[in-house]
Amino acid sequence: MRIAIVFDRLFPNSIGGAERWYRNLAEGLDGRYEVSYLTRRQWGDEGPRTPFETLALSPAGSYYARSGRRRIWPAIRFGVGLFWHLLRHGDHYDVVHSASFPFFSLIGAALALRLRRSRAELIVDWHEVWGREYWRSYLGALGGEIGFAIERLCTRLPRRSFTFSRLAEGRLRELRPSAPITRLTGEYLGPPEDSAAGEPTPERQAPPLLVFAGRHIPEKHVTSIPPMIAVARRRIPELRCVIFGDGPDTERLRGQVSELNLDDTVEVRGIVPSQEVATTIASAWCLVHPSEREGYGLVVLEAVSQGTPVVLVEGRENAATELIERGVNGAVAASAGPEEFARAVVDVVEAGTELRQSTLHWYQDHRDELSMESSLARVEAAYAEVEPTGGS
């Protein structure tokens, strides 16, 4: 069976939970299937360095504008490139397994397969379903209505869909009540093979360390961390923090650290090898992740698998809160405001070894359902229902 995986980013050239999902999916399927990864160019002369076939259908370019919002033209160019590729080669694939976003690529894939009259099955992953209210808050009244109309159209394009949270599943079922929708519960493959984290343990060395790992874009609210640290240090003066990742908000973040006299307290390390992130998370007293919008929250699993509890922030678009049992493996702050955010962090840090032990137990109880292997089995079961196209 021939599988095309469609996503405009490729891990580790681009960092994020969805990037890791599609990379792990391609590697997990490769060998049992003929896998082609259709993406944008994100590498130099060295090539993509993947064990599976990787095709660049549009040129390289910056994903984000200075505002932190995703630029529209790279997404359009990738959608056009995917359209032409599938218009010419759609019969080569039995399954076209695509991310739902950006919508231009999903629309391009569906249109090309229809014009080609290809029998390839279009299967779509929905990490997020925004709905009208969030679209309007993101793009304004008119832009939001257009965005929601496009999203609603896209929910009707695939025959089968996967979601990764109860939040996305519920919204998708409202838009397509009778469509086949499967919620996948696992994306965690385990720590990097070369990670020095060792066997998970609830023990930690002083001083207490917090860690953040993610993109520095407005939705992640990484700039809420320095003000929170300043407040939390009133109760825990020795508190320290390491922040990984980069993005449009990085310079503002560094400015905050200096303005609040936290240069010796908060370390902004940028993008580093994944094993360094894993080792640091394993040694932290708490992972802080104040994002307002998450489709799954893979970094949450990376933390709790090492006995590191997590502090998230409440939000209508934050599906990562589905992975937290308050007081068992972390906390959910009422907002990213300094006082409320700091209160949740202080409570988790002061809970100490007992909370870290219960975090480990929680992960061990849920390990199987949260594993990449569990989702891979469900994906392959869906593929097994697809009739081969017989193309070449």
Q: 110-136 burial, b if ≥16 CB within 10 A, otherwise e?
A: bbbbeeeebbbbbbbbbbbbbbeebbb
- The confidence score (pLDDT) of residue 291 equals 96
Residue 195: per-residue pLDDT: 58
Q: How far is it, in rounded angstroms, from Cα 337 to Cα 320?
A: 19
Output Rg (C-alpha) for the chain, integer angstroms.
21
Query: What are the CB-based long-range contacts (under 8 Å, 24+) for 134-139?
Result: 134/293, 134/316, 134/317
The amino acid occupying position 349 is: V
Residue environment code for 146-172, b if the CB has 16+ CB neighbours within 10 A, otherwise e: ebbeebeebbebbebbbbbbebbbebb
pLDDT beneath 50, residues of the chain: none
* Confidence (pLDDT) at 67: 66
pTM for this predicted structure = 0.91
pLDDT given for residue 196 in this prediction: 61
Q: What residues form DSSP beta bridges with 64? A: 70
Burial label, 67 (beta-carbon count in 10 A; 0-12, 13-18, 19+): exposed
pLDDT of the residue at 124: 98
| Cβ(333)–Cβ(343) below 8 Å | yes
Sorted by where each begins, the domain ranges of the chain are: 2-187+372-384, 209-370
Q: Is 17 exposed, middle or buried (0-12, 13-18, 19+ CB in 10 A)?
A: buried
Specify whether the CB–CB gap between 374 and 260 falls below 8 A: no
Task: Tell me the CATH number for domain 209-370.
Answer: 3.40.50.2000
- The candidate with the shortest Cα–Cα distance to 374, out of 185, 127, 162, 192, is 185
Decide whether 2-187+372-384 matches 209-370 in CATH topology.
yes
Give which of 81, 123, 78 is closest to 102, Cα–Cα: 78
pLDDT at 116: 94
Residue from 18, 113, 249 nearest 8 by CA: 18
Joined tokens for residue 117: 């009259």
The domain 2-187+372-384 is placed in CATH, from the list 3.40.50.2300, 3.30.565.10, 3.40.50.11540, 3.40.50.2000, at 3.40.50.2000
Q: Smallest Cα–Cα separation from 348: which of 295, 310, 299, 322?
A: 310
Taking the C-alpha atoms of residue 78 and residue 386, their distance in angstroms, rounded to an integer, is 26
